[in-house]
Amino acid sequence: MWSNSIGKAFVVTCFGESHGPVVGVTIDGCPAGLPLSTDDIQRYLDLRIPQEKEVVSARREPDIVEIFSGIFQNHTTGAPITLHIRNKDVKSADYEPMKDIVRPGHADYPAKVKFGGFSDYRGGGRLSGRMTAAFVAAGAIAQKLLSTFGVDVLAYTSSIASVAMHRVPELDIVRKMTLENSMRCPDPVIAEKMRQVVLRAKSEGDSVGGVVECITQNLPVGVGEPIFDSIDSELAKILFGIPAVKGVEFGAGFQSTRLRGSENNDQYVINDGKIMTLTNNSGGVLGGMSTGMPLLVRVAFKPPSSIAKEQKTVNVSEMEETELGVKGRHDPCVVPKAVPVVQGMVAISLADLMIRGGMIPRILKS
Ligand SMILES: Cc1cc2nc3c(=O)[nH]c(=O)nc-3n(C[C@H](O)[C@H](O)[C@H](O)COP(=O)(O)O)c2cc1C
Q: 100-146 pLDDT, tens per residue?
A: 999 999 999 999 999 999 999 998 999 999 999 999 999 999 999 99
User: Does the CA dihedral 168-174-177-180 come out positive or negative?
Assistant: positive
pLDDT confidence tier of residue 54, bands split at 50, 70 and 90: confident
Tell me the whole-structure pTM to 2 decimals.
0.98
pLDDT at 51: 81
Measured in angstroms, how far is the CA atom of residue 243 from the centroid of ligand 1? 5
Average pLDDT over the chain, rounded to whole? 96
- Helices 38-48 & 132-147, crossing angle to 10 degrees? 130
Inter-residue contact 25 to 15 (CB < 8 Å):
yes
Residues contacting residue 217 through CB under 8 Å, at least 6 positions apart: 151, 152, 154, 171, 294
Pairing of strands 81-86, 75-76: unpaired
Pocket of ligand 1 (CB under 6 A): 57, 106-107, 124, 127-129, 132, 242-244, 302, 304-306, 330-331, 334, 337-338, 341
Nearest to 1 by CA among 84, 83, 110: 110
Residue 19 — φ and ψ, nearest 5°?
A: -110, 15
Inter-residue contact 132 to 338 (CB < 8 Å):
yes
| Total residues found in the chain within this entry | 366
pLDDT at 1: 87
Measured in angstroms, how far is the CA atom of residue 32 from the centroid of ligand 1? 35
Nearest to 332 by CA among 300, 301, 299: 301
Q: Whose CA is nearest to atom 28 of ligand 1?
A: 129
pLDDT at 90: 83
pLDDT confidence tier of residue 344, bands split at 50, 70 and 90: very high
What atom of ligand 1 comes closest to residue 243's alpha carbon?
A: 26
pLDDT at 281: 98
pLDDT at 62: 87
Q: 325-342 pLDDT, tens per residue?
A: 998 789 999 999 999 999
What atom of ligand 1 comes closest to residue 326's alpha carbon?
A: 11
Tell me which of 128, 130, 131, 211 to substitute to probe ligand 1's pocket, judged by most ligand atoms within 8 Å of the beta carbon. 128
Measured in angstroms, how far is the CA atom of residue 106 from the centroid of ligand 1? 7
Nearest to 267 by CA among 287, 281, 285: 281
Lowest mean pLDDT among 45-49, 66-70, 71-75, 250-254: 45-49
Q: Whose CA is nearest to atom 19 of ligand 1?
A: 244
Measured in angstroms, how far is the CA atom of residue 274 from the centroid of ligand 1? 43
Residue 35 DSSP symbol: B
pLDDT at 85: 98
Measured in angstroms, how far is the CA atom of residue 4 from the centroid of ligand 1? 17
Q: 161-211 pLDDT, tens per residue?
A: 999 998 999 999 999 999 999 999 999 999 999 999 999 999 999 999 999
Residues contacting residue 239 through CB under 8 Å, at least 6 positions apart: 245, 248, 297, 299, 342, 345, 346
Q: 234-272 pLDDT, tens per residue?
A: 999 999 999 999 999 999 999 999 999 999 999 999 999
Average pLDDT, integer, range 209-224:
98
pLDDT at 53: 83
Coil vs helix vs strand at 193: helix
Coil vs helix vs strand at 306: coil
Measured in angstroms, how far is the CA atom of residue 217 from the centroid of ligand 1? 29
Residue 351 confidence (pLDDT) above 80: yes
Residue 277 confidence (pLDDT) above 80: yes
Average pLDDT, integer, range 33-58:
92
Per-residue burial over 326-348, b = 16 or more CB atoms within 10 Å of its CB, e = otherwise: bebebbbbbbbbbbbbbbbbbbb
Other Cβ atoms less than 10 A from the Cβ of 25: the count is 28
The one-letter amino acid at 335:
V
pLDDT confidence tier of residue 92, bands split at 50, 70 and 90: confident
Other Cβ atoms less than 10 A from the Cβ of 151: the count is 24
What atom of ligand 1 comes closest to residue 128's alpha carbon?
A: 17
What atom of ligand 1 comes closest to residue 305's alpha carbon?
A: 11
pLDDT at 211: 98
Nearest to 183 by CA among 151, 209, 160, 206: 160
Nearest-angstrom CA–CA distance, 365 and 348: 21
Q: What is the helix (H) or strand (E) element at residue 211, kind and residue range?
A: strand 210-217
Nearest-angstrom CA–CA distance, 92 and 121: 9
pLDDT at 61: 81
Q: Quote the percentage of the chain above a pLDDT of 90.
A: 90
